[in-house]
């Protein structure tokens, strides 16, 4: 059974824990005797019963052997299984969301009817939008405090729906509930006869992302194993369905081949695999594959040496032009340089800041130049390949969405197209300032069948993006900024004149 992960977000005290407690209770997902024992201890202490106590007791027991800072609760209903993530600390919650630790299929946003749309309700809405969480249900809670008024609910729905639309979140359902009274949670309520849907009904519209997302096949390569003569490619089906005999292409190179077999550890061979499964495959011909490669069928991913992203920044040092960080997408990690910072936005009030550096807890559109081709996708096409995590040193310090390939669109020729024409990827090689050395190097590269061009730093990315190795005379000394496959990099290092090689890093 496929589990659906749903994150519960909302302003402090709007009733998240109470709602999770009721949901688990009414669906029979709580361990037997749990509620009774909390009721008993409330009675003996003379305090009113709170569902939040149940949730707290429940998670502190389990958290001792779980190293996560969000409380995860399992819920079953009929043929569906959910994990509900109740996020206590706002800070930690945002970090988990951004890094994908709480990679949720969908979200329930809670609003207290008597307080309305709070600052944090907006912040959370914004974050859901920028993290590409597309399945969102809004629960308007504490309806008992506003006399279960339909007009009150309608006004809140109109206000919040409009805000969310502005930040790119299309809410599927707005539901009126009272978590405390248990109204309209799992069954229709006499107090809310005008409500179109129960919370459970709305929750069931949230599907695992792997099912909800497009059907275009995408496999990410985790590792390669050699087994008595065969090369097994361990990979995860990120989306779509794979069948033995399928014609596929391996990116970044885009080489075409066929799937010869699908194998699962200690299980009989099978002929199909679907989204979410980890499998190993063999191919009909032995093409070069490595961790980080992406295998697709009908639709090609983006392969690019520059990307346009929207980043939520968590780092203590500002992110600005020229900064070098590591960009991670799925199993790939590449060095990248920030080349543009635009639309810096304060998430609290959505105001655009008039500066080009990104501070902690701000969002901006960032363009990165990458040191080697990255296989990725727009977040609208793929969750697995459309999200980035930014690492500085050993720290995760940001994350966000890939908007598009950052390359100029005009020519419409991709990195993969150039690779297929040239037999190598483009790159940037900084060489110590010396035109003669550049010329000598170009001759060596020519003999190796590698196209290169001597140019300025300012045009280097463009040259590299056209599949050519840009040779940039540089005072700073040599650094191989962008290169193709490891084998190409090594050959290059061996053949280039030693006076340059000694300056090379990377
Ligand atoms: P934090 O975890 O601190 O952010 O709060 P929370 O969102 O988990 O809220 P919690 O469930 O702890 O509820 C906060 C208070 O609101 C408690 O006193 C609840 O009893 C009360 N409450 C929750 N839901 C309702 C409701 O539907 N009606 C009324 N009247 N009170 C509610
Ligand atoms: Mg709580």
- pLDDT category of residue 63 using cuts at 50, 70 and 90: very low
Q: Is the pLDDT of residue 366 over 60?
A: yes
The response to whether residue 10 sits with its C-beta less than 6 Å from ligand 1 reads yes
- pLDDT category of residue 487 using cuts at 50, 70 and 90: very low
**pLDDT (mean) for 443-459:** 83
Name 131's Cβ contacts closer than 8 Å, sequence gap at least 6. 97, 98, 312, 387, 399, 400, 401
pLDDT tens digits for range 153-210: 999 999 999 888 888 888 889 999 999 999 999 999 999 999 999 999 999 999 887 6
For residues 400 and 332, the answer to whether their CB atoms sit within 8 Å is no
Least confident interval from 286-290, 437-441, 501-505:
501-505
User: How high does pLDDT run on average in the chain?
Assistant: 83
CA distances from 104 to 78, 84, 204, 311, 439 (A): 21, 9, 14, 18, 53
For residues 305 and 372, the answer to whether their CB atoms sit within 8 Å is yes
Compute the Cα dihedral for 116, 122, 128, 132 and give only its sign: positive
How much is the pLDDT for 457? 76
3-state secondary structure 241-277: EEECCCEEEEECCCEEEEEEEEECCCCCCECEEECCC
The response to whether residue 180 sits with its C-beta less than 6 Å from ligand 1 reads yes
Ligand 2 centroid to residue 14 C-alpha, Å: 9
How much is the pLDDT for 475? 66
How much is the pLDDT for 220? 93
Phi (first) and psi of residue 449, to 5 degrees? 80, 25
How much is the pLDDT for 482? 38
The response to whether residue 59 sits with its C-beta less than 6 Å from ligand 1 reads no
pLDDT tens digits for range 245-295: 999 999 988 899 999 999 887 778 899 998 888 899 999 987 878 888 999
How much is the pLDDT for 434? 64
Following DSSP, what letter does each residue of 367-412 receive, concatenated? EEEEEEEEEE--TTT-TTTSEEEEEETTEEEEEEEEEEE-S-STT-
pLDDT tens digits for range 210-251: 665 567 899 999 999 987 778 899 999 988 899 999 999 999
Please give the structure tokens belonging to residue 97. 């969301």
Q: Is the pLDDT of residue 494 over 60?
A: no
The response to whether residue 17 sits with its C-beta less than 6 Å from ligand 1 reads yes
Give the alpha-carbon dihedral of 252, 255, 258, 264, to 10 degrees.
-30
The response to whether residue 115 sits with its C-beta less than 6 Å from ligand 1 reads no
The response to whether residue 428 sits with its C-beta less than 6 Å from ligand 1 reads no
Partners of residue 280 on adjacent β-strands:
234, 263
Q: What percent of the chain has pLDDT over 90?
A: 33
How much is the pLDDT for 115? 93
Q: What percent of the chain has pLDDT over 70?
A: 84
Ligand 1 centroid to residue 363 C-alpha, Å: 30
CA distances from 194 to 58, 175, 188, 504 (A): 34, 11, 10, 71
Half-sphere exposure of 162 (CA within 13 A, CB side): 6
Question: Ligand 1 atom 28: the closest Cα is on which residue?
Answer: 142
Highest mean pLDDT among 110-114, 438-442, 473-477: 110-114
Reduced to 3 states, what is the DSSP secondary structure of residue 44?
helix
- The reported pTM is 0.71
Question: Ligand 1 atom 13: the closest Cα is on which residue?
Answer: 15
**pLDDT (mean) for 438-462:** 82
How much is the pLDDT for 102? 53
- pLDDT category of residue 70 using cuts at 50, 70 and 90: low
The response to whether residue 340 sits with its C-beta less than 6 Å from ligand 1 reads no
Ligand 2 centroid to residue 53 C-alpha, Å: 9
**pLDDT (mean) for 486-501:** 52
Give the alpha-carbon dihedral of 419, 222, 313, 159, to 10 degrees.
100
For residues 142 and 178, the answer to whether their CB atoms sit within 8 Å is yes
How much is the pLDDT for 343? 92
How much is the pLDDT for 419? 83
The response to whether residue 423 sits with its C-beta less than 6 Å from ligand 1 reads no
Ligand 2 centroid to residue 104 C-alpha, Å: 18
Radius of gyration for the chain, computed over Cα atoms and rounded to the nearest angstrom: 26
Please give the structure tokens belonging to residue 421. 């024409």
């Amino acid at each position: 059974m496929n589990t659906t992960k749903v994150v519960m977000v909302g302003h402090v005290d709007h009733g998240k824990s109470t709602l999770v407690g009721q949901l688990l209770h009414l669906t029979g997902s709580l361990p037997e005797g749990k509620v009774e024992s909390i009721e008993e201890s409330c009675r003996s202490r003379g305090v009113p019963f709170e569902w939040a106590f149940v949730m707290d007791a429940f998670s502190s027991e389990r958290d001792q052997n779980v190293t996560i800072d969000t409380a995860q609760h399992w819920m079953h209903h009929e043929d569906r299984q959910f994990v509900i993530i109740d996020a206590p600390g706002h800070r930690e919650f945002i970090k988990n969301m951004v890094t994908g630790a709480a990679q949720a299929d969908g979200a329930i946003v809670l609003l207290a009817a008597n307080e309305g749309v709070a600052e944090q309700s907006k912040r959370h809405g914004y974050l859901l939008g920028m993290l590409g969480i597309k399945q969102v249900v809004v629960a308007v809670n504490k309806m008992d405090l506003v006399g279960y008024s339909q007009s009150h609910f309608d006004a809140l729905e109109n206000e919040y729906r409009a805000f969310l639309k502005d930040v790119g979140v299309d809410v599927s359902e707005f539901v009126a509930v009272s978590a405390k009274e248990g109204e309209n949670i799992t069954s229709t309520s006499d107090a809310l006869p005008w409500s179109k849907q129960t919370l459970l009904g709305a929750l069931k519209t949230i599907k695992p992302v792997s099912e909800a997302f497009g059907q275009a096949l995408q496999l990410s390569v985790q590792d390669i194993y050699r087994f008595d003569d065969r090369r097994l490619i361990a990979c995860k089906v990120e989306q779509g369905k794979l069948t033995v005999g399928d014609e596929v292409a391996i990116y970044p190179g885009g080489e075409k081949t066929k799937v010869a077999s699908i194998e699962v550890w200690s299980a009989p061979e099978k002929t199909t695999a679907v989204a979410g499964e980890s499998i190993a495959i063999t191919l009909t011909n032995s093409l070069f594959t490595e961790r980080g490669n992406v295998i697709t069928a009908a639709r090609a991913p983006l392969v690019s040496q520059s990307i346009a992203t929207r980043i939520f920044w968590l780092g203590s040092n500002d992110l600005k032009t020229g900064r070098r960080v590591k960009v991670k997408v799925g199993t790939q990690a590449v060095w990248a340089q920030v080349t543009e910072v635009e639309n810096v936005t304060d998430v609290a009030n959505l105001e655009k800041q008039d500066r080009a550096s990104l501070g902690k807890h701000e969002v901006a559109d960032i363009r990165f130049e990458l040191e080697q081709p990255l296989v990725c996708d727009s977040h609208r096409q793929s969750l697995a390949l459309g999200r980035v995590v930014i690492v500085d040193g050993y720290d995760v310090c940001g994350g966000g969405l890939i908007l598009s390939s950052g390359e100029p669109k005009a020519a419409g020729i991709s990195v993969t197209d150039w690779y297929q024409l040239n037999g190598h990827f483009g790159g940037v090689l900084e060489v110590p300032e010396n035109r003669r050395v550049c010329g000598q190097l170009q001759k060596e590269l020519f003999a190796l069948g590698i196209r290169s061009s001597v140019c300025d730093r300012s045009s280097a990315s463009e040259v590299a993006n056209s599949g050519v190795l840009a040779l940039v005379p540089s005072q700073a000394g040599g650094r191989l900024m962008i290169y193709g496959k490891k084998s190409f990099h090594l050959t290059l290092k061996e053949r280039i004149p030693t006076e340059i090689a000694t300056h090379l890093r990377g």
